[in-house]
Structures are given as C-alpha cells and as structure tokens.
Amino acid sequence: MNATQMATAPKQPVRDIVDYELLFDCVHCGLCLEACPTYVATRKEMDSPRGRIYLMKSLAEGRLELEPDVVRHLDLCLECRGCETACPSGVRYGRLIEKARFYIAAHYPRSKAEHLLRWVISSLFPHPTRLRPLLWPIKAVETLGLRSVVEQILPGKLGGWLSLLPPLVQTNHTEHQPWPTARQTIDGPTVTVHQGCVAQLFFSRTNQNAARLLKAAGYRVVPMARTPCCGALDWHLAYVEKAKRFARANIREIQRIQADVIVSTGSGCSAAIAEYGELLHDDPHFRDQAQAISGKVRDLSSLLLEARLSFPKFPCTVTYHDSCHLTHVLGVREAPRKLLRSIPGLRLVEMKDSDLCCGSAGSYNLLEPEMARELVRRKVDNILATGADYVVQSNPGCELHIAAELRRRRAKTQVIHLADFLALAMDAQTGARSELSVSAQ
Ligand code: SF4
Ligand code: SF4
C-alpha cells in the first residue's frame, strides 16, 4: 500500500469481504461503465463496476452494512467480466465480486425461497443423472403438443425456466460421413473435450462435432471416461467447497487419461478450469496439479486455426456473438472470426455490442430472469439488425438463452455453436445434413 492509500485506509480493521488492497487499483475513471450490461440497462451508478467497487469498499471499511439494497446491486452483477477487459488499470473485478459473494453467502440472511432456489439449481443442473429423468415428462408434454400451454401455467419462475429449454423431441439423426479435407493424425499433443454438465444432455452433438473437427485438423482426441461438472455453477453460487470437489474430480480424470490439452465447448467451463489454480490455491495436495491443469486449457477455435483446417464453400451471412468468458477471461476474440472468414462464400457482419453479455451467465437467467430477459432482448435486436442467417457463438448457455428469444420472436435467424456451424460447413461438401437444433440425450 502506498502513502496515499495508507492515508485513506480506515482506522478500524477491514472486514474480510474482499481482497482489500485490490480495491485501490480502481481509479474511478468510469471507462468500464459502457462495457457493463447492467449499467447499460439501468443507467444506475450502483449497477456499474465502479459503483459495485464503491459498495464493496464501503462494506469492507464498515461504512455500510449488508442491507437488501446493497446485496441487490451486487446480486445483479452477471460476473461477465466485461469490465475487466475495459479497465485500463487492471482491476481484478472477478476476484473482488467472487469474494464479496462468498461473504454475502456467509453473512446475509436470504429468504427461505431464495435459499431453496439456489439449492435446487446446485442440486440439479451440475448432475446430468438427476436432471435427465426430469426431462421425460417434458418430452411427453411436448409430444402431445402441450408444451407452450404448460409453460404458461407453471407457477413462479418455473415457466420461464421451461421456456429456455430447446425442443426435446428430435428426428433425423444423420450418420457422420468422413470429410474429404480431413488430415492424417499429427504426432502432436492429445486433446480431450470436456463434456460439460448440462451440455452432456443438450449439446452432446456439439461435443461430438468439436471432437470431429479436432480429429479432422489432425489432433489426437482422447475421451474422458466420465466428465464431472467443471464446478463453475457452484463456484458462482458461492458453494465453494462443492466447486472444489468438482475441480478435484476433474483434475484426477484429466491426469488419468494424460491429456495434454483440454477443450470445452462451454466457454464458462473453459474459464473455470483455467482458474482451478486460483480455486485450489490453498489446497496443499492439489495446488500444483490444479495450476498444471489450468495451463492446459485451450480454445477450440485457436486450435483449429493453428492447424489450418480448410473449409469448403458455404455461402451465407453470419454474425458472431462473443461469449463472455471466452472473450473476457480467456482473451479470445479474433480466432473464431478468422475461422469464419476462412470459409469461402461466407459473409461475416459484425453486430453492435457483440461482446456485451446476452444475460445467460451460468445460472443468472434462472436467478434474475427480468434482467436476463432485458439483456437478451437487446442482444437479439442487434443480431436481427445484421440480417444474418446465423448467429454463431461459443457457449451452450448463450445458445439456449438467445434461441429462446429468437423463438419468441419467430425469427428466421438461427443461433448455432461454432463447432456445429463449422461441422455444418464441412458436412455440406459430403452432402450430409447436420442436425442443427439441440436435443436432450
Ligand atoms: S474498474 Fe477500472 S475502468 Fe472501472 S472505474 Fe475502476 S479503474 Fe476505471
Ligand atoms: S462483471 Fe459484468 S455485470 Fe458485473 S460489473 Fe463487470 S461488466 Fe458489470
């Protein structure tokens, strides 16, 4: 701490709500404000990164108590980390808000309904074996053509949750054909595709396509025998011990299969694994292994670009949505765009605010449906203004959330994961018809 900071530091002990010294990196310039989706939506200072940092500092210094208003402004943060990439002073906002949330979880008396909601999310979504049986009645209702009716009559947030799910009844399963442009396996690093938790159920095709593309690019792909949840969902809900258990399970499995590189089709999962070193920094048995695993995370688009995978002609107009954690945590912006531009006949049109969060943000759209809906409305306005046939993105959560809004508007534009889009372009040369919509397995 420098002299100015010492002079402004409080006399009483600082409460352990955040890494206090990190707060002083913020110079209050406000350059992050327009990069913050909640500030853009509400125009309230306390819904901005600068305002939230002020709240955290006031809490830490005992000038403010954990009152409902304060918690509300902090709860409304998406942890999208758009403010981090916008900040010229290198403020580690993600670390600040994460610790503040742990503090809130330990000290703020939430209502029983809020506790229950968080417990349900944590007990169901990271566990495919628990979630899968719950989809059977939804499939039955959908087969009877009654799904939209059920969405209207379900109480509380349940109807909104159901509307986020894609159609579950699928037809037209296509056998994969070999791609003529596929390479011989290169004697390079082995890659594993982390299957995600919810993604195991709804995006198994996306995971398969990611593996097909990596193989076509010449990588040796090794499967995980069992993919535990990456832990991100519990981490962001401040169930940190549970998140650590998931992290350790992943580390053990990745070490067992001896993968050199870890890819996930969920950018939130990639970012979480890339931060295992931080999550387990105080675990003497796993600290070093966690650091090593974090260093193995790579992004699918970067690997395909490096391997110079070539694509056949696929004429269409595409816009690209930057998934938050791929952009703001892993720092990947250009690789997916370069890949798309390498497809002959494809026209890439940039949308306004492509890197502003769509409102999905892990379990945010389940916990904060109003703000999530407002943000996805803005996102889809920007998508439709491009006139694109496809909006390509790199995260299943974004896909579900944007697809639900496109369905509500009966829009023709199709939202599609980058892995599925590239597979679609490759399949076009073999005459195979890729399955585009997601389906529960
Ligand atoms: S977080 Fe960074 S960009 Fe935002 S006000 Fe502070 S110093 Fe400025
Ligand atoms: S993480 Fe996202 S929502 Fe939260 S303050 Fe930063 S930009 Fe705003």
Strand partners, 391: 319, 415
Asked whether residue 201 is domain-assigned, the answer is yes
Residues 211 and 241 grouped into a single domain = yes
Q: Which amino acid is at 89?
A: S
Average pLDDT over residues 59-73: 95
Residues 384 and 408 grouped into a single domain = yes
Select the more confidently predicted residue: 398 or 431.
398
pLDDT in the model for residue 140: 86
Residues 352 and 420 grouped into a single domain = yes
Q: What is the model's pTM?
A: 0.90
Name residues whose C-beta falls within 8 Å of residue 278's C-beta, 6 or more positions apart in sequence: 95, 294
Residues 292 and 372 grouped into a single domain = no
Which residue's CA is the closest to the ligand 1 atom numbered 3? Answer: 87
Average pLDDT over residues 330-337: 97
CA-to-CA distance for 284 and 128, rounded, in angstroms?
30
Which residue's CA is the closest to the ligand 2 atom numbered 2? Answer: 80
Asked whether residue 56 is domain-assigned, the answer is yes
Ligand 1, pocket-test mutation among 18, 22, 23, 28, most atoms within 8 A of CB: 28
CA-to-CA distance for 426 and 422, rounded, in angstroms?
6
Cβ–Cβ < 8 Å for 135, 168: yes
Residues 53 and 70 grouped into a single domain = yes
- In terms of residue numbers, what domain contains 130? 114-164
How far is ligand 2, taken at its centre, from the CA of residue 77, in Å? 5
Q: Which ligand is nearest to the CA of 36?
A: 2
pLDDT in the model for residue 438: 44
CB-ligand 1 contact for 29 (6 Å cutoff): yes
The yes-or-no verdict on residue 8 having pLDDT over 80 is: no
> What digits encode the pLDDT tens for the residues 68-112?
999 999 999 999 999 999 999 999 999 999 999 999 999 999 999
pLDDT tier at 9 (50, 70, 90 boundaries)?
Answer: low
Q: Which ligand is nearest to the CA of 27?
A: 1
pLDDT in the model for residue 174: 60
The yes-or-no verdict on residue 396 having pLDDT over 80 is: yes
CB-ligand 1 contact for 26 (6 Å cutoff): yes
Asked whether residue 318 is domain-assigned, the answer is yes
Asked whether residue 173 is domain-assigned, the answer is no
Domain boundary residue among 242, 271, 301?
A: 301
Note every long-range contact of 303-308, with CB atoms under 8 Å and residues 24 or more positions apart, other chains counting. Answer: 303/191, 303/214, 303/217, 303/219, 303/261, 303/263, 304/213, 304/214, 304/217, 304/339, 304/422, 305/335, 305/338, 305/339, 307/183, 307/186, 307/217, 307/218, 307/219
Residues 139 and 80 grouped into a single domain = no
Domain boundary residue among 270, 301, 332?
A: 301
pLDDT in the model for residue 182: 67
> What digits encode the pLDDT tens for the residues 130-171?
999 988 888 888 888 888 878 778 777 777 778 888 777 765
CB-ligand 2 contact for 79 (6 Å cutoff): yes
Residues 89 and 19 grouped into a single domain = yes
pLDDT in the model for residue 435: 47
Query: In degrees rounded to 5, what are phi and psi of residue 190?
Result: -85, 140
pLDDT in the model for residue 222: 94
How far is ligand 1, taken at its centre, from the CA of residue 46, in Å? 13
How far is ligand 1, taken at its centre, from the CA of residue 55, in Å? 14
Domain harbouring 38, CATH code: 1.10.1060.10
Domain boundary residue among 242, 272, 301?
A: 301
How far is ligand 2, taken at its centre, from the CA of residue 127, in Å? 28
Residues 269 and 217 grouped into a single domain = yes
Asked whether residue 182 is domain-assigned, the answer is no
How far is ligand 1, taken at its centre, from the CA of residue 36, in Å? 11
Residues 266 and 315 grouped into a single domain = no
Q: Which ligand is nearest to the CA of 95?
A: 2
CB-ligand 1 contact for 362 (6 Å cutoff): no
CA-to-CA distance for 9 and 292, rounded, in angstroms?
37
Asked whether residue 254 is domain-assigned, the answer is yes
pLDDT in the model for residue 335: 97
Residues of the chain with pLDDT > 90, as a percent, come to 77
| Residue 372 Cα distances to 40, 84, 358, angstroms | 13, 20, 7
* Inter-axis angle of helices 112-124 and 128-143, nearest 10: 90
Q: Which of 126-135, 180-189, 202-211, 383-392 has the highest mean pLDDT?
A: 383-392
Number of domains in the chain: 4
The yes-or-no verdict on residue 2 having pLDDT over 60 is: no
pLDDT in the model for residue 147: 82
pLDDT in the model for residue 437: 41
Which residue's CA is the closest to the ligand 2 atom numbered 7? Answer: 36
pLDDT in the model for residue 168: 77
Residues 284 and 204 grouped into a single domain = yes
Q: Which ligand is nearest to the CA of 31?
A: 1
Residues of the chain with pLDDT > 70, as a percent, come to 91
Asked whether residue 169 is domain-assigned, the answer is no
Least confident of 1-10, 95-104, 301-310, 325-334: 1-10
Q: Please return the burial class of 101, using the count of CB atoms within 10 Å of its CB with bins 0-12, 13-18 and 19+.
A: buried
Select the more confidently predicted residue: 40 or 13.
40
Residues 393 and 421 grouped into a single domain = yes
CA-to-CA distance for 421 and 15, rounded, in angstroms?
49
3-state secondary structure the chain: CCHHHHHHCCCCCCCCCCCHHHHHHCCCCCCCHHHCHHHHHHCCHHHCHHHHHHHHHHHHCCCCCCCHHHHHHHHCCCCCCHHHHHCCCCCCHHHHHHHHHHHHHHHCCCCHHHHHHHHHHHHHCCCHHHHHHHHHHHHHHHHCCCHHHHHHHCCCCHHHHHHHCCCCCCCCCCCCCCCCCCCCCCCCCEEEEECCCHHHHHCHHHHHHHHHHHHHCCCEECCCCCCCCCCHHHHHCCCHHHHHHHHHHHHHHHHHHCCCEEEECCHHHHHHHHCHHHHCCCCCCCHHHHHHHHCCECCHHHHHHHCCCCCCCCCEEEEECCCHHHHHHCCCCHHHHHHHHCCCCEEECCCCCCCCCCCCCCCHHHHCHHHHHHHHHHHHHHHHHCCCCEEEECCHHHHHHHHHHHHHCCCCCEEEEHHHHHHHHHHHHHCCCCCCCCCCC
Q: Please return the burial class of 69, using the count of CB atoms within 10 Å of its CB with bins 0-12, 13-18 and 19+.
A: exposed
pLDDT in the model for residue 172: 52
Least confident of 156-170, 239-253, 386-400: 156-170
Asked whether residue 41 is domain-assigned, the answer is yes
The yes-or-no verdict on residue 418 having pLDDT over 60 is: yes
Residues 102 and 119 grouped into a single domain = no
The yes-or-no verdict on residue 440 having pLDDT over 60 is: no
Domain harbouring 320, CATH code: 3.40.50.11810
- Ligand 1 atom closest to 90 (CA): 2
CA-to-CA distance for 79 and 98, rounded, in angstroms?
8
Average pLDDT over residues 180-200: 83
